[in-house]
Amino acid sequence: MTPATQTTTIDPTALLAKLGIEPVHSGAYAGEWLATTGAELEVTSPGTGEVIGRVRQATAAEYDRVVEAAQEAFGRWRQLPAPIRGEYVRRMGNAMREKKDELGAIVTLEMGKILQEGLGEVQEAIDIADFAVGQSRMLYGLSMHSERPGHAMREQWHPLGTIGIISAFNFPSAVWAWNSMIALICGDACVWKPSPKTPLTAIAMTNVCRPVLEEAGFGALLGLAIGTNEEVGERLVNDKRLPLVSFTGSSAVGGQVAGKVASRFGRTILELGGNNAMVVTENADLDLAIPAILFGSVGTAGQRCTSTRRLILHESVADEVESRLIKAYGQIQIGNPLDPKTLCGPLIDQVAVDNMHKTLEQAKAEGAEVLCGGESITLDGAEAGGHYVTPCLVRAKNEMQCVQNETFAPIVYLMRYSSLDDAIAMHNAVPQGLSSAIFTLNVREAETFLSAAGSDCGIANVNIGTSGAEIGGAFGGEKETGGGRESGSDAWKAYMRRQTNTVNWSTELPLAQGIQFG
C-alpha cells in the first residue's frame, strides 16, 4: 500500500469565511450567537495536523441560556400545525443543498473522511430533511372502538419538548440532521452538543439552517452548545428540562448516559458500538462481496459505526476471499482526503492511531495472524504530518478479546465456518448488535439469516455490505448498541408523547369492564 501524494488543497480560512465561521467563533447559539467565555478549543485537521479554526466554548451558564431560549421557542413552535413546521424544514433542506459543496468540504477538512464521503454525508442531511417534510403530514394516531356505548377512543401524538443531541465526530452533520429534522416537524426544539473534535461542522450546519428559522423568531430551536463534558455534557445529560437525549458514542459512555437520564425519568436514543460482521457463504457472488468488504472496512478509515469488522467465510471460499482481499488492499490509495484518487483518509487523531496499534499487539498476543497492513505512514508532501495508517486484515477467532471489542480503525478479522448454523452462532456471539450482512445467491440461506433465528442485529442485509444505510429505514441496533432508532420508518415516535383519548358523547356514564358502582 503506497500513500497517495497530496495534490488537492482547500484554504481553511476562505472555507470558514464562506460558512460564516469567525477565526475564533462562539460556541453557543441561542437564536443568536452568544459571547461565550469558556476555554478556547483549538481545532486541527486530522489530514495535516494543522490548526484550522478555534472555538470559544460555552460555560454552564451559557448552556443554560441556550436551553432557556430553546424552551421559550418550543412553547410557540408546538402550536404551529405540523405541515407548517415541515415547510420550514423543507427550506432548511434547500439551504443545505445550496451549500452542499462547502459543507462537504468542512466535514472532510475537519473529520478526515474522503470528499466523496463528506459530500455524501451532507446529502444524507438533505435527504432526511426531505423525508421529514413528508412525515410532517403523517404523524398518525389511531381510532379505536370503545367497549362502552356512546364512547369514542383515539390515540394522538404531541410534541415532547426540547431534545438533547450529543453527536460523535465520525458523522458530524448527518447524525444531528437525523435527530433535528425529525424533532422539528414533531414540534420539538433541539440543543446540540457536538463532538469537540468536529465543532466547526456544527457551527457551519447551524449557520446554514438558522436564517430560515430566525426570520420567524424561531432560531433558538436550533440550540448549540460546544463545551466540555463538565460544563455542557454532564449538565445536558442530567437536565430535567430535556425529556429525551439522543446520544451517539461508545457503549461504555452510552451506558452511563442511559443510567443518568433514566434516573430522572427521561428517555434516551442510544446509537453505540458496532461489531459488524459479513457472512460470505459458498454460494456467494464474490465479485459483489469483495467491493462490499472494501467499502465496509476501509470507508471512513474504519470509523463508521457500521464498518465491517468481522468476515465469517465459508471454508470453501475463504482462501480465495483472503487472496483477493490482500491484493485489493495493496492497491488502496491512502492519503489526502481531498484528493479524488484517495480511498482511505486519516484516523481522527493520534489516540485513534495508538488504539489501533494496541489492538493489533493484543491480537498477536492472543494468537491472531496479521495478513497485511496495520502500519502508520507519513504522506509525501504533508508538512505537518497526519494520522494515517494502512488498513489491516487479521486472521483470528471470534472468541478472542480483540475481536469481541470494537476498535474504531480499519481492522477486519477473518474467520472460517463450515455450516450456516455455526456462522450465525459466531455472528451473534459478540456484545454488539448494529449491522450485519450475508452474501449468498441461495434464498434459503438468505431468509434464514433474516429470520428470528438469524442475525440479532438491528440492520441485516443480503448481498450488500454492512455500511451505508439509507435514511428511509429506522437506524439503530440491539444489545450494547443501545436499542435506539433514528432517521426513517416510525422513528419519529421517539420525539413525541403518546396520548390516549376517550370521549363520552352519550347521556350515560358506563364504566369500563362492566363495573357497577353505586
C-alpha 83/C-alpha 185 separation (Å) is 8
489 sits in which H/E element: none
Which one of the listed residues 271, 406, 480, 486 is annotated catalytic? Answer: 271
Q: How is residue 506 annotated by DSSP?
A: S
Residue 331 CB: number of other CB atoms within 10 A?
10
Q: For the packed helices 115-135 and 82-98, what is the interaxial angle rounded to 10 degrees?
A: 160
Q: Please report the DSSP string for 422-484 in residue order.
A: HHHHHHH-SSEESEEEEE-S-HHHHHHHHSTTS--SSEEEESS-SS---TTSEE--EETT-S-
271 carries an active-site annotation: yes
Contact 485, 477 (CB under 8 A): no
The letter for the amino acid at 53 is G
The angle at the Cα of 219, spanning 215 to 223, to the nearest 5 degrees, equals 170
- Mapping DSSP to helix (H, G, I), strand (E, B) and coil, where does residue 487 land? strand
Q: What are the φ/ψ torsions at residue 433 (nearest 5 degrees)?
A: -155, 55
C-alpha 518/C-alpha 506 separation (Å) is 19
- The residues carrying an active-site annotation are 271
